[in-house]
Structure 1
């Protein structure tokens, strides 16, 4: 909890009041007056930034989005938009675009009528409505679909219409709640790049909620990783992946080998950890105590190398036994037994010269202590 609040404070210091567009300050939410589903949420968002709230189901991320939208009220704390508190404003007066997972399109209206609706309730002229609808359709590449009804569209096309409707009245902030969850893998990936393209072209501020780590890494400027109502880490995608601050973030973002052990030595930027198997691993201390404290080592599969004759030796070298090899096109995913762990994964590129590994084969593997992070137990 302390690490989380410190990270939030550091981020807030880096976002000046001049560039801060939306702000959550010590926000809490309880539905029953006892249990907090959101605990002291602090987040500053820059104008034009794409921020993703990422976490498992029930972690509090959607509740934070609903409080910004006005569909939920904070139990404690304050939410500001462009420097002004908005907790007393009803949703329709916040000027926020919203995209839901189920599209929420009016089935009895055509695509053009769906897009025109938020403009008509704002009392724009017919000519202005027509121009803005055409512009929004062009933005999502559906210029020829204005006369169709939602039922005549594919899932991806319906989601494009929902996105266009959220943008048609030119809001400064767009909120998205698991908008791609109902799409198949290929459509989901296509829409990720579509949303990223639209965000880059419009410069609108976006807050996006998902439980899909790949989606978050692909689209975001920064990601807030939630668990149990608390932000575990707030950082850019590469920092989250390469430098997780605790074991939950390391486990939740990308594939990760975890080894349990006890710190037996700590000197500067390197600590030695005796694993439960008896093997000793050198690692980078990130969130551990002194000698005798328990720790979880985090090691990405792609950071492990197969040691071949003549290769330079890293500071961690072990003999491993191949259990399973899975062909995944551009790389091989190999499961090993090493250091008492039968589920140790390495990833090697499918390239000439890498050779073929077979179950039962013994190989030498190694990794740098700088790539192995010693985190909380």
Structure 2
């Protein structure tokens, strides 16, 4: 039976589960609403369930339990080619024996569109990805980035309202991948089409998405805009998976007014935001971003101040990545902008460091 509330979301997963063997669930009770025009990324490590979820939406996999709705209608029993969804894969899946224009015309021909309509749409799609003069070339005559743009154009050519992308930039080199991230983001902004994007690359997800669903072990751990996901992870997995993160473990001593005190095994006490702790004397993991740590903090700047021993300094152009021994942890990272005067950064040197309790989050045990 269709859920009347499903019309509020353009795409809806409702209690969706997937098992291949009848025992192990690779997707567990997935509930997610995607509004029309959103760019949503499913992010997670290999085997986390993100690609299986995308393939169920595409129709290449069948949900073991639950319903998937598109524009208010259940599509569980609709064949993939009748869902009107554009797809872009990592391997481009272009026909090598066809020209670029013929590749783009193919999805229109199978929809029995007229010849002049096809020519007009192919031209428009090629212009959209800035390949207007490449229609007569074959895929083998194009660079990897050009082939990927053709694959994007082919997904757009029949003007679907929903486009699914599965690791589409995985085969490209770093510079080209970053360039394509911006191109796909700008195409999305121009067209207002709904995009569901799968990747294991967290910087790609942060760059492109309106919201990110972080998957692990078949479950969405957190669903939020990129800034919130990075600044306010709700558990240890998200804190570790999104961006670089300092992780200190200890036991909860006390809580008051949204803050808590965590005692580390070495005896030091850290004040942090009480986000996801289990109770007094229970284990907790502290999450702290390297760029939120100050070297030689001025008085009153930080309410957590300790001495750190410099173990390694790596020059990275715009900043230095300093690995320190802090509170018994020798892999504590501080990112220091290169505009800062860092006199005390010799390896082996001891320097005071500090951070605000508002930048440190007490979470579940990692």
What TM bracket, shorter-length normalisation?
over 0.9
Distance 1:372 1:233, change over 3 A: same
Query: Which stretch of the first structure deviates more once superposed, 247-256 or 287-296?
Result: 287-296
Contact 1:259 1:275 in 2 (8 A): yes
Q: Does 2:362 correspond to 1:374?
A: yes
Q: Does 2:223 correspond to 1:223?
A: no
Deviation at 1:18, TM superposition (A): 5.4
Pairing partner for 1:256 from 238, 245, 251: 245
Contact 1:19 1:47 in 2 (8 A): no
Q: Does 2:319 correspond to 1:312?
A: no
Where does residue 276 of structure 2 map in the other structure?
287
Q: Does 2:86 correspond to 1:97?
A: yes
Q: Does 2:329 correspond to 1:364?
A: no
Contact 1:262 1:292 in 2 (8 A): yes
Contact 1:41 1:231 in 2 (8 A): yes
CA distance in 2, matches of 1:178, 1:57: 12
Where does residue 140 of structure 1 map in the other structure?
129
CA distance in 1, matches of 2:113, 2:265: 69
Distance 1:131 1:207, change over 3 A: same
CA distance in 1, matches of 2:145, 2:156: 17
Contact 1:307 1:313 in 2 (8 A): no
Unaligned runs of 5+ in 2: none
CA distance in 2, matches of 1:313, 1:210: 38
Note the alpha carbon deviations across 1:117-153, whole angstroms, 9 max, x for none: 0011111111100000000000000011111100011
Query: Where do residues 154-173 of structure 1 align in structure 2 (5 Å cutoff)?
Result: 154-173=143-162
Contact 2:6 2:12 in 1 (8 A): no
CA distance in 1, matches of 2:359, 2:315: 25
Note the alpha carbon deviations across 1:247-273, whole angstroms, 9 max, x for none: 000000000000010011111211111
Where does residue 343 of structure 1 map in the other structure?
331
CA distance in 1, matches of 2:143, 2:343: 44
Q: Does 2:116 correspond to 1:127?
A: yes
Pairing partner for 1:111 from 97, 100, 106: 100
CA distance in 2, matches of 1:144, 1:356: 57
Q: Which runs of 4+ in 1 moved over 4 A?
A: 16-19
RMSD of equivalent CA atoms: 1.1
CA distance in 1, matches of 2:279, 2:340: 45
Pairing partner for 1:210 from 179, 199, 212: 199
Where does residue 4 of structure 1 map in the other structure?
none
CA distance in 1, matches of 2:14, 2:278: 30
Note the alpha carbon deviations across 1:86-109, whole angstroms, 9 max, x for none: 010110000000000000000000
Q: Does 2:260 correspond to 1:271?
A: yes
Contact 2:301 2:356 in 1 (8 A): no
Note the alpha carbon deviations across 1:299-324, whole angstroms, 9 max, x for none: 0000000125x543411000000010
Give the TM-score, by structure 1 length: 0.94
Where does residue 329 of structure 1 map in the other structure?
317
SS across alignment from 1:273: strand
Where does residue 37 of structure 2 map in the other structure?
48
Note the alpha carbon deviations across 1:162-186, whole angstroms, 9 max, x for none: 0000000000000000000000100
Pairing partner for 1:300 from 289, 292, 302: 289
Distance 1:305 1:370, change over 3 A: same
Contact 2:214 2:221 in 1 (8 A): yes
Contact 2:45 2:216 in 1 (8 A): yes
CA distance in 1, matches of 2:340, 2:351: 18
Deviation at 1:276, TM superposition (A): 1.3
Unaligned runs of 5+ in 1: 1-15
Note the alpha carbon deviations across 1:330-369, whole angstroms, 9 max, x for none: 1110000011100000001110534461101111000011
Deviation at 1:48, TM superposition (A): 0.3
Contact 2:245 2:288 in 1 (8 A): yes
Contact 2:8 2:72 in 1 (8 A): no
Give the TM-score, by structure 2 length: 0.97
Contact 1:52 1:210 in 2 (8 A): yes
Distance 1:144 1:324, change over 3 A: same
